[in-house]
Amino acid sequence: MSQAASKRKDICFSYTVEDGADVFEQKSRCLHDATPPCIAACPIEMPIRSILSKLESGDVDRAALEFLDKAVLPATIAQFCEGYCENACVRTRLDEPIKMRELELFLYKGGYELPKKRPLPINKGKRICIVGISIVGLTCALLMLRKGYSVDLIEPSENLESAHDELSSISKDIFRLGVLEDYRLLQSYDHFFATFGKSFDFKNTVNYEAILLPHDHALPSGEPSDKQDNADYEDSLFKAIQQEGTLLVYIKDVNDVVEQIALGKEISKTIDQFAKHKIIIAPRTRESISAQFPISDQVKKEYSAVVPPITMLEVASEEAGRCLQCNCDLCMNACTLMKQGRMDPPYYIVEAQQSLKTQRRLHDKLNIRRVCGCNQCGLCREICPTDVDMGSVYRRSREIMQATNEMPEVFYDFWLRDLADNEEHAFVMTPDSRETVKYLYFPGCHLGSSNPNYVLQSYRYLLDQFDQDVAIDIHCCGAEAIWAGKQDMACGISNRFLDSWKSLGHPIVITACSSCRKYLSAISDAIHTISLWEVLDSNLFLPDEKSHREGTLTLFDPCSSRYFPQEQQAVRSLLEKSGVEFADFPGVPDHALCCGFGGLIYPANPKLFFEILQDRTSQSDLPYLTYCANCNDAFLWWGKDCNHLMDLLFDMESKKHFSHAKDISDRRKNRRALRRSIREDIFMGADSETIESHESIHLILTEEMRRKMMSQLILDSDIQRVIEQAERFNNRVSRNGFFVSYLMIGAVTVWVEYSVIDENTFDVRNVYSHRMKITGDQQHVG
């Protein structure tokens, strides 16, 4: 399945995995605070980010101590490590890897000494025996000494220098410059005892907790150790056998110096655990990072690699500063919701998990503003290197909250009533009443309500282009039901569409809104969709000259266009051919953003809604151009100079009696006007629209009042209804010559202060609303 197709597949309904498990699985994929490639590659898990961060800021002391502590044998590491981290360094994708080995040498030569910690009293008097000098053995010995154990080293060679002859696996240089140097660290402990020139004899064993032996050393029985079949623990690197309360550890050959140190660390942990609990716990396996670790745009990239050797702090700091401090923060930087929360990505998942619980305990904190603040734009999943999908988690949360009656009704009430209004008057019409068609034009419910001309002009074009073989369907695609978490409603809508589409003969669906396209495509793979823009572009459409706009425009791709790159391309092609100058939206490069409307976050999270609008509209001083009615109207409402692509393609002036909607009340009017016009002007039929009684009321409203109504999602018709019942039943109070009444409409109570001009005309002084209900008062419910 192509990438675009697989993204479409699980957009809305197919959240079939067990919710809780899936959420945690996503959390485990999150790369934030995951081990970066350099540390994952290092056998001893050197804390590279931390050391480099300290070094960059000049905190050499702490950087050095951190290095010494983790290296255990610092001379050996600093001089002879092969640089696993450098091979895995993400910075290599920009220029060169961080010169970690040079920096470690710099720290090592600083002459720092690890302060001795006070040994644990529990370990006092416990003894370990290391047989033969080896890197594994010395590492283990040092770590045990740090913990307060006493260590006996028994080396058969006559002296330290000649011990090298026994060690075939390391070179003379490593022994001389590394091992011998690090050996002095052991000598600084007063509970370290070395005996040379003697072989290890099991009979002379003191009460050791553990004895570390080379793999070819004999068992206490005298047999070779590989004859022992039932080891208490065995893996490829060491074998452990319990013998009367002592742990015998046989080390196998390991080639690489750093791997040997890593093995020594593992063994010291095993011995320590055995000494405490007399059981053997297998060491954990190192994690590996397979995903491509992303490079954040926020990091500094300007430094260039230094030329070794590094002898000065300024040079070391600069090199350390080249470290990208790999920690994936792509979603946090791209998504306004995640940026605003200021939490690390995995915590968003944990927090969202609260809302997925169908039975929540009292102290489980659900962050409803965040769940209902997600625009459902899909950017997080697109940008995440491991496809973590916060959007789907939040969508599912809303579904569960609706199902358990935990969603405050007011959050989606207005939009769902608006959807119901659209559906009540929606229809499918075919030219000449034909049964099947080749094309179905699905403009979406907001395009026509924004401006009826958008739908009328484009539909006329399609009818002409395709020889009348185009039906029109002005239902809703179900996006808003999905965003509101109303699963059943959404399923009803998509089933209706599917049935209608089948009975029309499986036509190709032409969309004029990429969100519609996203949700219609997800209903069935059999539904083929194409955007109006692709149709226009491929049919060599020439825009109306009168519609041309001079100057450069900033092109804002609507969020759902991310799933349809061919649509984005077609738009650009149309603009180029029309001679329109445009620039791409800065925002997050190469990624479409949400305008703020998506996900219906207003009124559930107004603060975030305003923040997003402010951010989007201030990214460029140029006028905006977009091809989604919601984006266009959201920007216009915020005061931004913006056009819909339709404005530039078709002549909007020819039908003067339609105007662009300035607010939600205009949209309702436009919706009815569009239906009327399609029925009467295109299909030459009659429109059977009934006028309700309250609609005959004429309101005098100032601009300011309209803006106030818009922000509280109150319609003209709501006010008409309040006044109508107030006048008819005298349900009103008066003060100073004006009247006040209220009515419960949907989830809110709407108050209107008005004065009477004449029988049908009212001057609206003030409008306000609240969500609380007045109890025990039934007569004012609308």
User: How many CA atoms does the CB half-sphere of 662 hold within 13 Å?
Assistant: 9
Minimum distance from CB of 750 to another protein (Å)? Answer: 11
Question: Using an 8 Å Cβ cutoff, are 388 and 381 in contact?
Answer: yes
Distances (CA, A) of 605 to 129, 367, 534, 663: 66, 11, 35, 20
Q: Residue 368, interface with another protein (CB under 8 A)?
A: yes
H or E element in which residue 395 lies: helix 390-403
DSSP string, 209-242: SEEEEETTSBPTTSSBGGG----SEE-SSEEEEE
Please state, in angstroms and rounded to a whole number, the distance separating the CA atoms of residues 286 and 137.
21
Which of 175, 293, 556, 742 touches another protein by CB under 8 A? 742
Candidates 384-392, 434-442, 624-632, 727-735; binding stretch for another protein (CB under 8 A): 727-735
DSSP single-letter state for residue 678: I
The count of chain residues that interact with another protein, using the rule CB under 8 A, is: 30
Q: Residue 736, interface with another protein (CB under 8 A)?
A: yes
Question: Using an 8 Å Cβ cutoff, are 600 and 484 in contact?
Answer: yes
Q: Sort strands 738-745 and 748-758 into parallel, antiparallel or unpaired.
A: antiparallel
Which of 6, 195, 734, 761 touches another protein by CB under 8 A? 734
Q: Residue 735, interface with another protein (CB under 8 A)?
A: yes
Question: Using an 8 Å Cβ cutoff, are 195 and 152 in contact?
Answer: yes
Q: Residue 712, interface with another protein (CB under 8 A)?
A: no
Q: Residue 733, interface with another protein (CB under 8 A)?
A: yes
Question: Using an 8 Å Cβ cutoff, are 722 and 752 in contact?
Answer: yes
Pick 411 or 564: Cβ nearer another protein:
411
Q: Residue 238, interface with another protein (CB under 8 A)?
A: no
Candidates 418-426, 570-578, 673-681, 733-741; binding stretch for another protein (CB under 8 A): 733-741
Nearest alpha carbon to residue 620 among 568, 588, 585? 585
Please state, in angstroms and rounded to a whole number, the distance separating the CA atoms of residues 83 and 100.
7
Pick 578 or 749: Cβ nearer another protein:
749
The encoded tokens of residue 782 equal 């609308």
Q: Who contacts 474 (Cβ-Cβ below 8 Å, separation ≥6)?
A: 422, 426, 427, 428, 443, 445, 448, 455, 674, 675, 678
Q: Residue 354, interface with another protein (CB under 8 A)?
A: no
User: How many CA atoms does the CB half-sphere of 158 hold within 13 Å?
Assistant: 1
Pick 420 or 733: Cβ nearer another protein:
733
Q: Residue 781, interface with another protein (CB under 8 A)?
A: no
Pick 210 or 407: Cβ nearer another protein:
407
Q: Is 41 exposed, middle or buried (0-12, 13-18, 19+ CB in 10 A)?
A: buried
Contacts (CB under 8 A) with another protein, residues 402-441: 408, 411
Q: Residue 464, interface with another protein (CB under 8 A)?
A: no
Pick 671 or 721: Cβ nearer another protein:
721
Candidates 166-174, 312-320, 561-569, 732-740; binding stretch for another protein (CB under 8 A): 732-740
Which of 112, 303, 638, 768 touches another protein by CB under 8 A? 768
Q: Residue 4, interface with another protein (CB under 8 A)?
A: no
Pick 176 or 771: Cβ nearer another protein:
771
Q: Residue 731, interface with another protein (CB under 8 A)?
A: yes
Q: Residue 776, interface with another protein (CB under 8 A)?
A: yes
Q: Residue 777, interface with another protein (CB under 8 A)?
A: yes
Q: Residue 262, interface with another protein (CB under 8 A)?
A: no
Pick 427 or 729: Cβ nearer another protein:
729
Minimum distance from CB of 240 to another protein (Å)? Answer: 55
Which residues here bind another protein, judged by CB under 8 A? 367-369, 408, 411, 729-736, 739-740, 742, 751, 766, 768-777, 779-780
